[in-house]
Amino acid sequence: MALLEINGLGKTYGEGDGATHAIGDVSFSLDEREFVCVVGPSGCGKTTLLKCMSGLLEPTRGDVLLRGERVEGPPEAMALVFQEYSRSLLPWMSVRGNVVMPLRHKKLEKAEAARLVEEAVDAVGLTEFIDRYPWQLSGGMQQRVAIARALAYQPEILLMDEPFASVDAQTRGDLEDLILEVRDRYDMTILFVTHDIDESVYLSDRIVVLSPSPTEVREILDVPLPAPRDQVETKELPEFAHLRAHVYRLIKRRREAAEST
Amino acid sequence: MVAPLAAVALLLVLWELVVRVGIVAESNIPPASAALSELVNQFGDGAFWSAVGSTLEGWAAGLGIAIALGVPLGLLIGSSRWAYRGLRVPIEFLRPIPSVALIPLAVLIYGQGLQSKIFLAAFASFWPLLIQTIYGVQDVDPVATDTARSFGLGRGERMWRVTVPSAVPYIATGIRISSAVALILAVTAELVIGAAGLGREINVARSGGNLDVMYALIVATGLLGWVLNLATSAGERRVLHWHPSQRGVLT
Amino acid sequence: MRPRTRRIAELAVEIAVPAAIVAVLFAWTAGKPTFYFPPLSDVFDRFANTWVFERFGSDAWPSLRRMGLGYAIAVLIAIAAGTALGSSATLRRATAPVVEFLRSIPPPALIPFAIVVIGIGDDMKVFIIAFVCLWPVLLNTIDGINGIDPTLRDTARVYGISGRDRLMRITLPAASPQIFAGMRLSLSLALILMVISEMVASTNGIGFFVLQSQRSFAIPEMWSGILLLGILGYLFNLAFMIIERRVLAWHRGARASSLG
């Protein structure tokens, strides 16, 4: 059985003539320890899809199953990393406070919670900044704090909503490698939403390509690139270029088709 | 629109019931129906309208003087670095002085009539206007000033064409705040020193034991405050519509 | 002028101008005292005799107690009610006209009402002060809670943060800059209404003392009371600013970093 299953998911805002069909019909699944990227043209309802999957929004049609059980609200087995790190971190708390916050209601021993926090902060390489405030850190570092918060929560699935879209290109590469490293260390399943085609090919085991809104799955393709990935060597491989071009055509074709109608 | 009306109706019914059932003594609070019908009576009474007029007179004159003094002074202090630094501490010291502390002084100098009321209303509403104008002038975008400079506009013209327009939203906010303050002080002067107006009528009704009248007048004063609030807020929105602070409100 | 010299010159101006104003007042009232404007030295003298500390216990303390009590009650009620109203749009719409009307009543107009219902004792003054201080804090709390970033709400939900933790560690801190702005406004209102309520009906308090001094033509005493009120207003404002700076240090830091 798949870890997470999305069955015929659809989301419509409003009713009647004024209704907006954000998501038409989306189905795919995630296996354990898989890294899946969801990529689609901008404005294709990726964030809406992610919110439905994480239980923040109720889908209009279809359902999301976590180990066969229907997701009704945000489950404890999931953590979500938002694109807007500066708005999802609490500016009145230090890095430590932010990371420990979600653990407070988990009824852990104090020492156990502290260990989880320190381990997570170490995993993202921010140990020496643990007592700083988020706004004292750079954008890339703030997003690392958000990742550490998700790691300490010990989810089975980590959902990420264009997490690196607001940082510069250099930092972005570093964060991509960081998340691959963290995936191995924590043995997690990751669903990563992005509009960046290179990023999706570089990171994932499988890619789900979406159509423009009302969103449907265009194609699901495997990414048989060797691990560990490397920013220079992996991107030099002919398979990388081939996959990249393939995904690019899928997305571009959809756009042209949409424009010509 | 239904929920607010229902809430008002509910509150009035509650008021009526609480008094009728006897939870609150009728010697303290008359039933809502009595107070409201008295309010309607008052609307037909010339004396009521002359009290409203007196209160408004104090409000308008006080606010007018405050605007006439506060805005030009604010423009001057705000646009001169030296004046601002020199006067910052005195302003910070004078501003929080409750203007009501000057009531005895006003009585000594201006007596118990309209002049005292205007003095108090003007003194109290002067400060918000002054401070807002200074903020407004200091918040002028330096790029706008430099642009004007590069087009060869002189100091006076820059003031008139760049500084003043940019400060207008702040001044509008200052006027809204000051209007409420001026009304409070006008009513206070009527209540404490007995200048003619709604405040005095309320007090007279109380000491005469005319509770229906007293409550009707309190409601009327509230309505007056509400109307003035609506008017100044609407004016402020008109002036502010282009300003970034309002964009969040509109969307 | 070099920046350093300029800074020093500005500081000098900031100290010299106020000092000069006091000096001029001093000289002017000493040289040409009138009945209403006694020499400043007399006022200072009377101030020392009256408030340090002869009448402090009998007049200043009761005033401060009423003000503190009324303010504290108002802030507690306003934050609680504001949190409820800020979280529910329906509740907010339903109560809007009542709130709008009540806060539009010029507060002194309610003193006669309070006298009839509560009497002329301390409770009446505390009620009036609390009633006035309620609105700025209430409206600001509503705005603050209502304006919380949706991403922050989602974050709380995703990580299962709810109940007390969510209220105390996310919702209220997020709204705190606005709550503080309201509390600051209310603080100056508290002082004003303390004075008014004591002028209308009281047997002690600073407001009572000032009005009584005027009625018995004890002009330097009257001025000493006015001076005390000015100093109190200034000190309250200062104390509040210091507390706000400490509590909201994160807010200033976050704003500075998002602008820079």
Residue B4 has a pLDDT of 73
Select the more confidently predicted residue: A151 or B152: A151
pLDDT in tens, C104-162: 888 888 888 898 888 888 899 999 999 999 999 999 999 889 888 888 989 999 998 88
What is the pLDDT confidence band of residue C54, given thresholds at 50, 70 and 90?
A: confident
Residue C95 has a pLDDT of 87
Tell me the chain B residues in contact with residue C117 when contact means C-beta distances shorter than 8 Å: 28-29
pLDDT at residue A118 greater than cutoff 50 = yes
Q: Which residue does chain C place closest to B221, by CA atoms?
A: C105
Whether C220 and chain B come into contact, CB under 8 Å, resolves to no
Answer yes or no: are the C-beta atoms of A140 and A177 closer than 8 Å.
no
pLDDT in tens, B90-142: 887 777 677 888 888 888 888 888 999 999 999 999 988 998 898 888 877 77
pLDDT in tens, A7-64: 999 988 888 788 888 888 899 999 999 999 999 887 778 888 999 999 998 999 999 9
pLDDT at residue A258 greater than cutoff 60 = no
Residue B249 has a pLDDT of 37
pLDDT at residue B248 greater than cutoff 50 = no
Chain A and chain C share a number of CB contacts under 8 A equal to 70
Between chains, do C207 and B100 touch, taking CB under 8 Å as contact? yes
Average pLDDT over residues C233-241: 88
Give this prediction's pTM. Answer: 0.84
Residue B93 has a pLDDT of 72
Residue A221, classed as helix, strand or coil, is strand
Residue B251 has a pLDDT of 28
DSSP A171: H
Answer yes or no: are the C-beta atoms of A21 and A12 closer than 8 Å.
yes
Q: Let me know how many helices (H) and strands (E) chain A has, helices first.
A: 9, 10
Residue B244 has a pLDDT of 53
Average pLDDT over residues C228-246: 88
Between chains, do B11 and C18 touch, taking CB under 8 Å as contact? no
Between chains, do A101 and C161 touch, taking CB under 8 Å as contact? yes
Average pLDDT over residues A116-136: 92
Residue A231, classed as helix, strand or coil, is coil
pLDDT in tens, A59-91: 999 999 999 889 988 998 899 998 888 888 999
Question: Between B8, B96, B103, which is nearest C234 by CB?
Answer: B96
Answer yes or no: are the C-beta atoms of C50 and C112 closer than 8 Å.
no
Select the more confidently predicted residue: B5 or C63: C63
Question: What average pLDDT is seen over chain B?
Answer: 84
pLDDT at residue A170 greater than cutoff 80 = yes
**What are the distances in angstroms from CA B60 to CA B67, B161, B186?**
10, 28, 10
Shortest Cα distance, chain A CAs vs residue C40, angstroms: 48
Residue C173 has a pLDDT of 93
Residue B5 has a pLDDT of 79
Which of C43, C63, C61, C65 lies closest to C53, judged by CA? C61
Shortest Cα distance, chain A CAs vs residue C172, angstroms: 11
Answer yes or no: are the C-beta atoms of A77 and A66 closer than 8 Å.
yes
Q: Does a cis peptide bond (omega within 30 degrees of 0) precede residue C236? A: no
- C:60-119 residues touching chain B, CB 8 A cutoff: 90, 93-98, 100-102, 104-113, 115-117
Shortest Cα distance, chain A CAs vs residue C161, angstroms: 6
How far apart, in whole angstroms, are the C-alpha atoms of residue B4 and residue C97?
A: 6
Between chains, do B103 and C108 touch, taking CB under 8 Å as contact? no
Residue A168 has a pLDDT of 85
Shortest Cα distance, chain B CAs vs residue C158, angstroms: 26
